[in-house]
Every structure is written in C-alpha cells, then in structure tokens.
Structure 1
Amino acid sequence: MERFHRIFVIVLDSLGIGAMEDAALFGDEGADTLGHIAETVPELTLPNLAKLGIWNVHPSADGSAPEQPAGYYGVLKERSSGKDTMTGHWEMMGIYTTKPFKTFTETGFPDDLIKELEERTGHKIIGNKSASGTEILEELGEEEIATGHMIVYTSADSVLQICGNEETFGLEELYRCCEIARELTMKEEWKVGRVIARPYVGRKKGEFVRTSNRHDYAVKPSGPTVLDALKHAGYDVISIGKIKDIFAGEGITKAYKSQSSVHGMEQAAEVAERDFHGLCFVNLVDFDALWGHRRNPEGYAAELEHFDKKLGRLLDVLREDDLLMITADHGNDPTYKGTDHTREKVPLLVYSQSLEGSGSLGEQDTFAVIGATIAENFHVEMPEGTIGHSLISFIE
C-alpha cells in the first residue's frame, strides 16, 4: 500500500542554507542565504518553519530550534554541475546534469544570434547586455515604445529575456518573438536554459511595471523524470508557479500559474482542499526574483514571513495521509557580491500528521532524494538514467 495518498513539494526558490564544499569553484565561497538574512534581520520570525525544523537544519543565532520538531529535517547537496533553477529542479526529479547551461553575462549575445533574431522577428534589438529587469526598462522602455524596437537582455543566469510593452508591443507579438528566440537558442553554441517573455505596462520612466504574464520557454529535460513516471502510471501531477515552464510541460497533468509567491501558497491550500491522487509540485519564485537577485535581505525576510503565515493555512488543511516536503533549488544570498545565484546546500523539511517520529535526516548527497521518495511511495519505477535514493524508510 501507498504510505501517502498525496505529496506536496514546495520549493522556496533560492533559500540556500550555506555554501557547498565546491562553492569556491563557482565564486561563492562563504555564501549563506538564510543565515545572512537572519543576521541582517534579527527580528525574523518564522514559527511554522521553526516547528518543522528550519532552525534545526540551520541553527539560528538566538538558539530558537525546538528540541523536538514536528517532522524530519535534513540538508541536501546538489550533485549536478550548476546553480540555476532548471538544474536544481531537474535533479529533484532524478536528472543529473554534468554540463552547465551557457551564460552570456559578460559579453551579451553574439552578433550572429542578434542578427538572425532581428531578421526573423522583424524588430531591431536594443540592450543586449546583462541587466536587472527594472533597470533596463527604465533605460530603454521609452525607446521601445516610440520605435517598436525589441529589448533583449540577459543576467547571471542562462537566460535570454525579451521585454515587451503589453499595450504597444503586444503580448502575442512578444510571445511570437520569444518562440523564435527559443528555436534559435537551441543551437549548441547559443543554447540557454530559458527564454523568458517579460511583459510590462506603463508609458514613461518611473511608471513601468512588469506584469504577471511572464512566460518561460525552457529546454526540455534531458531525459524522463519522476514526473513522467507518475503521469504514465496514471497519477495526478499538479504544478503551481513556474514548475510547468521549468519542465517544458513534460510530466504535468494540471498547471496553475501564480501571480506571486503568496498567491502560489493560496493555490496550494486550495488544491489541498480538493481531492487528487499524486503530486502537487510548487515553486515560489519571488524569493529569488524580487529579493535575492536585487540583493534585498529585508525584502527577502518579509517574504519569508508572508510565506510562513500561508504555510500555517496549508498545514491546517493537509490530511492525515498527506506528505509535505519543503526545500529549495539553489541559493541567492542577498548580502553577497554581484546579483547571481549562489552555490549552496538547501534544506529539506518533511512533515505529515501520520508521522510517529521526528528528527534529523542528516546530509544527503543529492536533491534527487525527493523524486526517489515520491517514486517509492507511489510504487513507480525511477526512469532509466535517473539518480536518487528514497527516504521513505527513514520517515515511517
């Protein structure tokens, strides 16, 4: 029999808990997203996460970890080579990535790619550099509106991003151009993990606001994942937030788009109040996009407290035969240099009303323990070529 009828996996996008042993190879020695947030904002209060063991897995300065948390807690280390969203999420579901995706942070995109993108889309490209989304809109938004040119930019991640004003450029035109960019960047020398449509509204500097109509065009996973195995076996695989985009729709049976991380948690609670059989996989991106990349520890701390309140509601509606796993996909230390992700370990908090015990799961050598645990619970075979070992026997 299945131990759990439904499993919820919630990814607090970028909530690392300390540098990996190889962090220096990525330029991230000493990074610690949660630790440095707690140091910067000592009044940070997370009662529900504390109850589940967050301060047991990452001791806080005030020693507030409960002696007996409500569930199991552990540390996950990324085996794959990378520190990006796709690599982290794919590994959770069994994929071991050995070759990082290409980045164009220092140089912008090659002239040949820009020329072909201009010819195929019919728009002259402006920008073509690494920048924050808000900064490049302030710099170039008025020009785009006046001329019909297209803002293309990148970041420290493996992404090609295109801005489009919803009223003057148009959403459909923005999506069309992104689809062309995705096709072009499948070439090995230009291959990025994601092409992202970044729509916005407003007509002049100081008024530009990005909207929730963002759309990610990700490369498909390099092989079948636990999500595919679950779907093939007839289980529900419900995604909330950008999970569908991260997996290019592969292995998903139902998808909900979130307007914010708070909204994502509200959606998770709503799904928990309905009947389904299988997995609900949630990504909460605001931690990363709004606060980590913008190097704002105070904003990150406030977002964590908002999450913690919504977590309380979810805990109230979970059923006895539900399993909840809370984790992260990489770090993004808001006190660190630059604006890039940071190569960090991540937490794993495991909770169910039916658990009789609690305690430490220690350090696990891959994020893929999450997918392997899900697969064993639902008695599906891990796809060929995937990695990971189940924790079911440790939490029964």
Structure 2
Amino acid sequence: MLVYLLSVTLVVLFVFTAFSYWQELKYRQKPYYRLSDVGWQHLRQPEQEELVHSVALLGDVGAVATDGTDPLLHLVENWKRESGQAGTMLFLGDNLYPIGLPTEGSKHRAPAEARLNLLIKEVRDFAGRGVFLSGNHDWLKGRTGGYAQVLRQERYVRKRLEDDACYLPRNGCPGPESLQLAEGLLLVIINTQWFVQRGEKPLGKQQGCPYEDIEQFFVAFNNLLRKNRHQHVLVAAHHPLYSNALHGGKFTVKQHIFPLTAAHRRFYLPLPIFGSVYPFYRKLFGAYEDMSHRKYKKMRKRLLRIMHRYNNIVYAAGHDHNLQHFEVQGNHYLVSGSGSKTAFVKKGGKATFTLEQLGFFVLNYYQNGEVWLEARVVSKESADGTVMFRKNIKSVLQPVPEVREV
C-alpha cells in the first residue's frame, strides 16, 4: 500500500511538473496582457507635433555589444531621431557588468571602459539629455568596496560628458535629486542601492550628502512629491517595487529541478525537491538584491507608503531583465531591465503587461496632458524593432490632502 501511494504521488508530481514546464514554455518570450488591455494595437498616440517630452528607460545595459552590432542600441538610435531635443535617455543602473568600473590595471578595466565609452558616446551624440543612475553591479555587486567603485564610475562619466547632472544622485548619496525635464514634468532620482548596500556608504555633509540621518531622506522625498502634486512626476531608481521575476521571488520549474543552472547555464544536474531549497530561500528570505530581503523590504515599504499618498507618479526601475508594467492605486510601476539581458518573468498577478525580450519602455508626454507608455523590443522580423505594448497612462492630477508624516 505504501509503495502504491508513493508511486501515485511521484506520478502526480511528475505530471504536474511536466505540465507546469509546458505552460512556461508556451508563454516565455511571449507578451502577457491584462484582459482590459487586449486590443492595445488599435490605440493611437497624439500627433508627434504635440510631444512635450520623451523618456527612454534603458535598464541594465551593462552587457551591450561594443562592435556596432548591438540590436538594442539600434532601437535607441531610432528613438533618438524621433525625440530630438525633447528627449531624455535614462540609464537605470547596472551600466557595467559584472562589477562596475574597476581600478586601472584590473583585467576587467579595458572591456568596462570600452562599454562605458560607448554609452557616453550615445549621450554625447544626442540632441537631448542623458542621465545615469547606479545599480548593484555598479556598486561591486553590493559587496564591501562598492562605494569606491561607484564613485570611480561617476567621476569617469562626469569628466567626459561635462554635465553636473549626468550622473545622479551625486557622490553615491541616497538622493532624492530632481530635474525639471519639461513644463509639467519632473524627474526625481533616488539611489535604492544605498539602502541594501553592504560596507561603507555615504551619509552626511562630509561625504557630500545633505542628510546626517536617513530618516531625513524620507521626509525630503515626501516633501518633494507633495510640492509637485500639480505636475507629472517620474521617479527613477534601480530596484523595482513590484516584480513578477527573479528579484520578486518568481522562479521557473527548471530552476527548481536544475538549480545549478543559476551558477552556469550548462549545469543540468537534476536535483528535484533538494533543488527547491534555493528558490524557496530566495523567495522567503532573499539575497541582498531581492525584494524579500529585510533591507529591501523595509526600503520598499517606506517608499510605497509615501507614494501611495499621491496619484501623479510613474516609478521606473530596472534590475530584473524583462519588461513589466503594474498599475497600483493610481500610480504606475515599471520594470525596464532588458537592455542587454533577458530572464524569466511570470504572467498575471498584479501585472498588466510582462515580456521576456530585449527592449525598453518609452514614456511620451503630450501637450494635452496624456502620458503614453510604449514597449519597444528587438525583433527578428524588423531591424527597426517592434512595439509590443502601448497604453495611455495619463495620471490624474487632483488635489490630495496635505500629509507631512512619513
């Protein structure tokens, strides 16, 4: 009897696993749309002449090809021609894989410098503006010594672009820093890596930061949003606040059965049951870069508590290597991290759109107050890429009660 029950259990487990894997294969690299957004292809944006400003959200571009063949950079060139002076290229961190910009003499220095020079050239040749943020890889993958690593990258970019606002927040500080991109459009940049970084990180006037206590950051962030309730606000950071992917605790069946593929894609050693330990650990407790880690969780809770008070915000991040859109309490949360790598993203949940493909989101702000979101991806059918999602996400600019507590 025991053998029979064990056999039935194993068969059921195998069938369930096989079915789940088959389901994943069906929608991997295929877009997911919320039911109400099916038919988005029939939506049309306002005329180009009405464009006030366009923002390209370029996340995790740290592994782009430097030989002129990178397909994503070709898409960026198309967008640059469309937007012209009314455009901002926003690099959402992880600008250099694997460990940011190392010291001179390091074996990683030459390839890192070549890739960073390419990104800098993209900005220099652009009629609009370019702004870099830092991510966990730019901070030496979050390890001790990351502060010096990110300062090295910041100095390198500033020197070559000769623009005080090309790398924000300054000095590796938590922020927030703001830029008025156009009338009615404010960009607010925060350094989410600061909150999860191990080892030294700057705070206080001696290190070029305006606050002696991190609580002052949250007060300043709330005050900045409160004073700008009358206009559209784009908050940019590296870490997402909603995600259906790895850093949000979502794993594939393959990662449960073949967990060693996380270390190397060819390590296909089946470890059923035991292989689930690692995914469950990442989901429940998390590494430093995961949403479930206590530091990340605390940061996320505080930021959302503040932003949920307002209804004029788009929050854009990278970190997970895919494209995702969430709409929560009147605000919009984006993951635009597939600039040079792609990874599994789960459909459904709170997401309205997800896609595992190389590409980036574009935000277009128009004179009539409309804000349009567009997902542009690399395509085998067209060298100019394909638009895989379009949506009018116009924020509702209404007075809200004045709240000072954080």
- TM bucket normalised to smaller: 0.3 to 0.5
Indicate the structure whose relative CO is greater, using CA pairs within 8 Å and at least 6 residues apart. 1
Q: Calculate the TM-score normalised by the size of structure 1.
A: 0.35
